[in-house]
Structure 1
Amino acid sequence: MGLSRRPVRLTVDHLTALSGHGADCLYWQLDPVRRSRLSGEEAAEEKRDWVSEVLREWGACGHVLLDDDVVVAHALYAPAAFAPGSASLPTAPVTPDAVQLLTVWVDLEHRGGGLGRLLVRAAAKDLVDREVVALEAFGDSRRHPHGCVVPTGFLTALGFRTQRAHPAYPRMRMELRSTLRWKDEVEQAIGALLGAVRPAKAPKPAPPAVRE
């Protein structure tokens, strides 16, 4: 089957196939004290419960990419109310009109191919369809970033702009309406280009002149 280039919506069943920080990372879901008290198995169960709750109360909260049914990349997003762990960051809270991008993770063997960008675009499209105004994320600007926090450089490359500056954890924002307009402009430009390269139709012959 091979790698699918079409992200699919995250379900609870996908969690067992997540690697890296995906299956048991509770950086956003719990405060630091509660996180420290859980074993790896308990953390994985807590993560499943969290995904189930968000799906039930709010709706889709992530996308995954599959390679022969193995999850090789995933992204999570949710309203800030479902991410109490972010309260410990110095640039919190997320702006009320935005949804928070929590985690973007790509398997080491699949990095460098734009999969993370693809997942964020899928999230943006989903949120625009749900009339969400913006997507915000806490960037990690440290030399060795935490696996559950998105690197600031990655966010900047995607078009996120600094909403609240900080040397380690800036809060970044993407205006989704602007992103949608940009997408429309690109599609229109492609359409114009295709029209320019199509062979022009032969002009219809002029009607014969009428002699008086």
Structure 2
Amino acid sequence: MSVSVTRLDLGSFGSLPQHTRKCVFWEVEPATESSRAAGMTSAGRTDFEPYESEFDKEAWISGLLLEWGACGQVAIESGTNSVVGTAFYAPPNRVPRSQHFPTSPVSHDAVLLTSIRTEPGYDEVATILLDAVLGDLIRRGVRAVESFGLVRNGTGAVPFESVEGSGGLADELELWSDEAIVEVAREILDDPQSNLCTSCMNDASFLKDSGFDVVSSHQRFPRFRLELDEGLGWKFEVESALQKLVVMAQIDLAGRQQTAVPVGAGPHRSAGAVLRCQ
């Protein structure tokens, strides 16, 4: 499998997977979304999906690209040229949902990593996307990245030392399904209309394994933080330059192999010898 990662722009918006293209769980104020859902229901719409608006998602991306810069990274599988993963990030004041967690608010000096989402069978792409996000933010001088984690199970997902009676709770969480998580979220977030999008939240275990530290503990929605060392900027620049050199070398090698001809085919060449390019 060969995967390349590139910054998201409006030109590639239409190629995003359907859920990623339409879900505005992070981008729309929950109160606004609840009102819209109620209006759709009263109008007799039964096909309305919570937090679904392709128009709002595209408008959110467009606004950030104009006012702040890149807010997404896209992983593309070279064989099929299809998008197999996405990552979104933005200043917390541009993410309405970030104000509605029990571990809110996000620190003023941090950019919020809202979600890293991969298609089935491409779980390993999540790490590649995270590296692309961190590289972009380091080059832009961002000090730290924060993210709300979702504890999907209790085994080693996130330290519970500060939570009273954590041992039993951790064991119980192992058995909870996404549907159960949504029900609990409605109570925790004090919103009976809440429709938590579990697929658009980052797993607490992934954030922990990626070097993030818990800065606000919670049984279900801990907030994580990763400090970005400005001195690491050179590393990403060097790696990028080396990657370009490798690609150029491969192109040059392929070109020379295509033009290689038997030595005896032209004048002043010895018969029987063949030019080979290694």
Report the TM range for the smaller structure's normalisation. Answer: 0.7 to 0.9
Q: Aligned to 2:69, which of 59, 63, 69?
A: 59
Matched ranges for 1:39-188 at <5 A:
39=48, 43-67=53-77, 68-111=80-123, 114-143=124-153, 144=178, 146-177=198-229, 180=232
Instruction: Figure out how many residues of one structure are paired with residues of the other and give that number.
Output: 181
**Quick one: distance in 2 between partners of 1:152 and 1:20?**
24
Q: Give a deviation string over 1:94-126, Cα, whole Å, max 9, x none.
A: 101100001100100222xx2101111111011
**Quick one: distance in 1 between partners of 2:201 and 2:52?**
21
**Quick one: distance in 2 between partners of 1:14 and 1:102?**
19
| Structure 1 runs, 4 residues or longer, greater than 6 Å off | none
Q: Gapped runs of 5+ residues in structure 1?
A: 188-212
Cα shift at 1:42 = 6.6
**Quick one: distance in 2 between partners of 1:126 and 1:24?**
25
Please give the TM-score of this superposition, normalised by the length of structure 2.
0.60
Given that 1:24 and 1:43 are in contact with CA atoms closer than 8 Å, whether structure 2 keeps it comes out as: yes
1:20–1:159 CA distance, 2 compared to 1 (3 A): farther
Structure 2 SS opposite 1:29 = coil
1:42–1:26 CA distance, 2 compared to 1 (3 A): closer
1:70–1:173 CA distance, 2 compared to 1 (3 A): same
Compare CA radii of gyration and give the structure with the larger one.
Answer: 2
Structure 2 SS opposite 1:110 = coil
Q: Which AA in structure 2 matches 1:127?
A: L
Q: Are 2:21 and 1:23 equivalent residues in the alignment?
A: yes
Cα shift at 1:18 = 2.0
**Quick one: distance in 1 between partners of 2:228 and 2:136?**
10
- Percent of counterpart pairs with the same letter? 34
Q: Give a deviation string over 1:35-93, Cα, whole Å, max 9, x none.
A: 24265697011000000000000000010011233111000000001101111111111
Query: RMSD over aligned Cα, in angstroms?
Result: 2.4
Q: Gapped runs of 5+ residues in structure 2?
A: 38-47, 154-177, 182-197, 240-278
Cα shift at 1:24 = 1.4
Q: Give a deviation string over 1:137-164, Cα, whole Å, max 9, x none.
A: 0000134361111010010110000011
Structure 2 equivalent of residue 33 of structure 1: 31
